[in-house]
């Protein structure tokens, strides 16, 4: 079996010592994943190595880390597809709990700021199922991107989050669009006001890092650009409403 050189970041915050990189050489099978390499280290020379994982099939997002400078799901990324010389670090823009495990509280805290829970419109009959035909404008206006798995890779790669921790980040804004574009949602305007505020969509520099690292091929950049357009349209209708007494259309553009 080929040998793999692995450098891993070690950090125990309670000691007060700075992070350091330790190098190890291990033998791994040709089809081994990066997560397999971490298990091999934990079973062998580094029994106290801390990292997070769960499903091991690329669906839960728990094992996201920075490998050779890029955010990846370690369970679904094969060593041979990256390099025989690996450098593994924890996700960026998040506090390190220990070694490769990060505290996701800031990530989900930013998510909560966008009011991510669906709230039905008050005028909808709770006994009636609201159908959205596939050939309707409402259906076409929805966000049809794949479902996010909350891995935080986009949050880690976002340079705006690095420079401005108040920025809610790509995942939160992508989720917000899914609700803003839903004609059944009753907090559309309130949510749109939040995500177009100081810490929202207009902070994005459109670099596309989030799109590049997403394991689900989601483009938060596309969602954010759409939120910007919706915010501008919303402001336009507010002005029209004040002048002519007309209301904003409920179909997202």
Confidence band of 248 (pLDDT split at 50, 70, 90): low
Confidence band of 253 (pLDDT split at 50, 70, 90): low
Higher pLDDT, 238 or 228: 228
Report how far residue 19's alpha carbon sits from residue 121's, in angstroms, rounded to the nearest whole number: 50
Q: Which two tokens stand for residue 72?
A: 């990846």
Q: Which two tokens stand for residue 6?
A: 């692995």
Mean pLDDT of the chain: 92
Chain Cα centroid distance, residue 42: 28
Position 33 scores a pLDDT of: 97
pLDDT tens-digit map of 130-180: 889 999 999 999 989 999 999 999 999 999 999 999 999 999 999 999 999
Bridge partners of 67, per DSSP, are: 70, 88
> What is the average per-residue pLDDT within 68-92?
97
Report how far residue 167's alpha carbon sits from residue 172's, in angstroms, rounded to the nearest whole number: 10
Position 247 scores a pLDDT of: 60
> What is the average per-residue pLDDT within 17-39?
96
Higher pLDDT, 1 or 204: 204
Q: Is the pTM of this model over 0.85?
A: yes
Burial class (CB in 10 A: 0-12, 13-18, 19+), 220: buried
Position 48 scores a pLDDT of: 95
Same CATH topology for 3-102 and 105-244?
Answer: no
Report how far residue 237's alpha carbon sits from residue 247's, in angstroms, rounded to the nearest whole number: 7
Identify the residue whose tokens are 């207009």. Answer: 202
Vertex 207 angle, CA 236 and 189, to 5°: 30
Confidence band of 28 (pLDDT split at 50, 70, 90): very high
3-102 CATH fold: Ubiquitin-like (UB roll) (3.10.20)
pLDDT tens-digit map of 235-246: 776 777 777 766
CATH superfamily of 105-244: Alpha-helical ferredoxin (1.10.1060.10)
| Percent of the chain topping pLDDT 70 | 96
pLDDT tens-digit map of 166-221: 999 999 999 999 999 999 999 998 999 999 888 999 999 999 999 999 999 999 99
- What is the full DSSP assignment across 192-211? HHHHTSTTSGGG-----HHH
Position 250 scores a pLDDT of: 52
Q: Which two tokens stand for residue 205?
A: 């520099």
Residue 70 has φ and ψ, to the nearest 5°, of -130, 140
Position 197 scores a pLDDT of: 86
Full 3-state SS string of 92-159: CCCCEEECCEECCHHHHHHHHHCCCCCCECCCCCCCCCCCCCCCCHHHHHCCCCCCCCCCCHHHHHCH
Q: Which two tokens stand for residue 41?
A: 């280290």
* Per-domain boundaries in the chain: 3-102, 105-244
Strand 96-98 relative to strand 70-73, pairing: unpaired
Position 16 scores a pLDDT of: 85
Position 242 scores a pLDDT of: 75
């Amino acid at each position: 079996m080929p040998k793999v050189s692995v450098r891993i970041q070690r950090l125990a915050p309670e000691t007060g010592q700075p992070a350091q990189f330790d190098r190890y050489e291990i033998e791994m099978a040709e089809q081994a994943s990066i997560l397999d390499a971490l298990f091999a280290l934990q079973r062998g020379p580094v029994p106290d190595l801390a990292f997070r994982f769960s499903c091991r099939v690329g669906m839960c997002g728990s094992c996201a880390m920075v490998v050779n400078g890029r955010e990846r799901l370690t369970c679904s990324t094969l060593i041979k597809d990256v390099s025989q010389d690996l450098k593994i670090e924890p996700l960026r823009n998040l506090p390190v709990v220990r070694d490769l495990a990060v505290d996701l509280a800031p990530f989900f805290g930013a998510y909560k700021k966008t009011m991510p829970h669906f709230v039905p419109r008050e005028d909808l009959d709770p006994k009636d199922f609201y159908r959205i035909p596939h050939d309707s404008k409402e259906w076409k206006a929805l966000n049809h991107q794949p479902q996010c798995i909350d891995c935080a890779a986009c949050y880690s790669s976002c340079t705006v989050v690095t420079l401005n921790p108040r920025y809610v980040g790509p995942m939160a804004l992508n989720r917000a669009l899914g609700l803003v574009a839903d004609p059944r949602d009753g907090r559309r305007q309130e949510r749109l006001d939040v995500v177009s505020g100081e810490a929202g969509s207009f902070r994005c520099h459109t670099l596309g890092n989030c799109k590049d690292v997403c394991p689900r091929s989601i483009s938060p950049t596309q969602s954010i650009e759409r939120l910007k357009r919706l915010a501008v349209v919303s402001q336009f209708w507010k002005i029209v409403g004040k002048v002519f007494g007309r209301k904003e259309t409920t179909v997202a553009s």
